[in-house]
């Protein structure tokens, strides 16, 4: 979900122009249009859909883009990376239920999962372990079939489980969104489309503008590096580490925050208790985010 940074605007302008003008190229109309000047180009940009970026990555949704840039600012923006499960929301176990349903449907295996941790890990790592646990393989296209099956079960599981947005989250996001020096992103072990399904279910999806996801990495630290890379692309240069913030609910969230040099705010609303989080030494630790003004006040 990489988006063009400020100095890539030329790419967007050029691609948008070609998207519209391409069919007329053979007739020489492009050359004439090119001489009409910036006013015409501006009109073309308004009526032409935004192009796919050349790196082949599309945004989480078409509506997502960075709401603000560093251009003209004396201080860089604060980039906040939110974990999903146990931090923003509780799915009520919908993710695991959908995963188990997909294993049953694709592989015919369904005995209860024991001894495999889900919290703080990537979906890629979890499903790799579950394949070993069940004695099945993702070879020959089975991974793709499994992921599609999981994503099919997930909305139904979310609808039937007792999930919720966690305390203080709506207020915290509202405060941070209202500020002109903060950009909100995701740093989650979920498959990208799983993250989208969960956030849409709780009407949180459009609040986030970039992210790292758990589709391909076994190690959450690599997901953090992906998210950091996106933020760096947007910023156009290295972001001072005091402007990076990871918010998560497990020691793995703290660890991946350290991997990118971020400040870490831990919250004991998910996979770990306060006692389990303390040894990982987050910069700040909350029982929950009901003290949302205090949490927001730390950022900045």
Residues of the shown chain interacting with Mg ion in the complex, contacts defined by CB under 5 A: 83, 85-86, 249, 270
Rounded to the nearest whole angstrom, what is the least distance from the CB of residue 23 to Mg ion in the complex? Answer: 48
How many Cα atoms sit within 13 Å of 285 on the Cβ side? 17
CB of residue 186 to Mg ion, shortest distance in Å = 11
Beta-bridged to residue 185, according to DSSP, are 81
Residue 201 or 234: the one with the smaller Cβ distance to Mg ion is 201
Q: Which residues of 134-171 are buried (b: 16+ CB within 10 A; e: fewer)?
A: bebebeeeebeebbebbbebbeebbeebebeebbbbbb
CB of 269 to Mg ion, least distance (A): 9
C-beta neighbour count of 250 within 10 angstroms: 27
What single-letter DSSP state applies at residue 28?
T
Q: Which residue is nearest to Mg ion (CB)?
A: 86
Nearer to Mg ion by Cβ, of 88 and 239: the residue is 88
Q: Nearer Cβ to Mg ion, position 230 or 249?
A: 249
Q: Encoding tokens for residue 33?
A: 């249009």
Residues listed for the chain:
300
**Closest CB to Mg ion among residues 104, 113:** 113
> From the CB of 112, what's the least distance to Mg ion, in Å?
22
- Quick one: 4 or 251, whose CB is closer to Mg ion? 251
E strand or H helix at 266: strand 263-267
Closest separation in Å from C-beta 296 to Mg ion: 20
């Amino acid at each position: 979900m990489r988006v063009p940074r400020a100095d890539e605007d030329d790419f967007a302008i050029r691609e948008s122009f070609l998207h519209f003008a391409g069919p007329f190229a053979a007739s020489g109309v492009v050359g004439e249009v090119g001489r009409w000047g910036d006013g015409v180009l501006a009109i073309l940009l308004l009526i032409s859909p935004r192009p796919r970026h050349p790196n082949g990555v599309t945004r989480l949704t078409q509506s997502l883009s960075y709401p603000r840039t560093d251009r003209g600012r004396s201080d860089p923006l604060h980039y906040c990376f939110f974990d999903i499960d146990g931090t923003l929301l509780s799915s009520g176990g919908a993710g695991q239920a959908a995963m188990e349903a997909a294993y049953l449907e694709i592989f015919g295996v369904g005995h209860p999962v024991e001894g495999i941790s889900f919290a703080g890990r990537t979906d890629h790592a979890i499903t790799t372990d579950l394949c070993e646990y069940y004695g099945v393989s993702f070879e020959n296209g089975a991974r793709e079939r499994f992921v599609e099956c999981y994503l099919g079960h997930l909305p139904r599981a979310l609808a039937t489980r007792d999930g919720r947005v966690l305390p203080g989250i709506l207020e915290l996001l509202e405060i941070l969104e209202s500020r002109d020096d903060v950009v909100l992103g995701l740093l989650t072990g979920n498959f990208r489309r799983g993250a989208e399904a969960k956030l849409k279910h709780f009407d949180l999806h459009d609040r986030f503008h970039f992210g790292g996801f758990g589709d391909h990495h076994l190690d959450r630290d690599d997901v953090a590096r992906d998210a950091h890379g996106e933020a760096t692309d947007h910023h156009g240069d290295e972001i001072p580490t005091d402007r990076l913030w990871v918010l998560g609910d497990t020691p793995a969230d703290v660890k991946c925050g350290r991997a990118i040099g971020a400040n870490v705010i831990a919250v004991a609303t998910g996979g770990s208790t306060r006692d389990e989080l303390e040894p990982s030494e987050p910069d700040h630790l909350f029982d929950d985010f009901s003290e949302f003004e205090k949490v927001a006040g730390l950022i900045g």
